[in-house]
Structure 1
Amino acid sequence: MKNSEHITSVEDLIASTESLLKDKNSSVLFRGQPNNDPLLPKVAGKNPKNDTTDLEKKIVKEFRRRLARERDIAAMDDWDLLVFAQHHGLYTRLLDWTSNPLFALWFACSDRMSTSDVYIFMLLAKDEMLLDPSTEKDPFKIKKTYVLKPNINSSRIRAQSGWFTVHPFAEKDKRFVDLHKNKSIKGRVLMKGIRHANKPDILRTLDKLGVNQESVFPGPEGTANYVNWLHRDDL
């Protein structure tokens, strides 16, 4: 896939996905970012050449230990735990995506403090890229980048139609590999920009379609942020 120009509206985004969605042997995933930084997970840190595998194991183990009394945590396998931890802010090898383009658009545009252009990424994930947890049971032993369709173990994953890419430290390359430079995925990632000036209108349209802080983050905190947003011009 080739990168294209900026989009100016929700309608532009929907139109740009129509041809991609016709591929029955692939899943189209979306990610919104306030910048066009490399497509890498947080555990890659500021230096993708740093192998953080052992540190990540330690972090996840400590997360599980501290929540050992939680019945749901005790029953989770390693993949479910990694997904759960990621959605609660732990640094992992997972990078968030969604199967809903409107949610990705909201994530790209939602930061009111940002005054720069933002970006939507689209990943055409072939079926053979999907991870099978029954055969790849240990997240820390995978040798290539996978796409993970997670179990729905939280209301947030359900609400956001969450998917993930899973990024190991590549022994051959001696680094975490940006999806744009990943040989098995390169060419299947499309980036579209959104001008800062178009963000307010896009957010208003998304709100009319039911995509806002309250729907993206179910619960009191999401509702509070949504009410603040409704009265943003008065605060």
Structure 2
Amino acid sequence: MPTETFLETPQARRIAYHLTPGTGPCIVFLGGLKSDMEGTKAVHLECWAKGQGRAFLRFDYSGHGESSGTFTDGCIGDWAEDTRAAVSVLTDGPLLVVGSSMGGWQALLLARAVPERIAGLVTIAAAPDFTEDGYWASFTDAQKHALKTVGHVELPSDYMEPYIISKRMIEDGRRHLVLRDPLHLPFPSRFLQGTADTAVSTDTALRLLEHATGPDMRLTLVKDADHRFSDDACLDLIEEAITDVLAAID
């Protein structure tokens, strides 16, 4: 395993990354909430990209993996800043962005911030606006009171230790919602979603498909696939989606 390299962002956060040289567009993997760049999908796709001679970037948001900071201090806007810094400094030219879960939201924010650089998009169980439509919408009155008085609430996870959700994450999330305003994706976009996903529902995937506009968008529902979307069959589907986007770009 190669040693991590670090990037200092304009916000003085230290971001760990792995960059594989190759032909463009550079494939950028954006991971999920509390995931890191050593996850199954990120490492598998890096290996696949190397085999294809494609440029590939994976990195840890601040408060994740080997990057600086703590998760509980972070929020959607911080991780969007990390993403923009990584692609701005480490890559040139067009990008094919692959976003998993929260990384799907980050991919949409990146497309909104630098639309001229996005050549294609693949999302895996994308979770746009989840701080508002998932967390806040499901909080009890007691949890909302705790958020205001204690500053955070603790939520169970099916996949790891409980999430500590801060008041700052909820308030910052409202400044970065993407499903309330027009969302134009003028490039090939492929959305992948498992029907057995207990973290992100198929309703979310359908809402994204219906809300966004663009000339070439497709949603693939995979029966019985869960939120990890990382067994061999699902990894093959991600490769196929990237290949399909690359073909449409070329």
TM over 0.5: no
Structure with a larger share of its residues in strand: 2
What's the TM-score once normalised by structure 1's chain length? 0.29
Structure with the bigger RCO (C-alpha within 8 Å, sep 6+) is 1
What's the TM-score once normalised by structure 2's chain length? 0.28
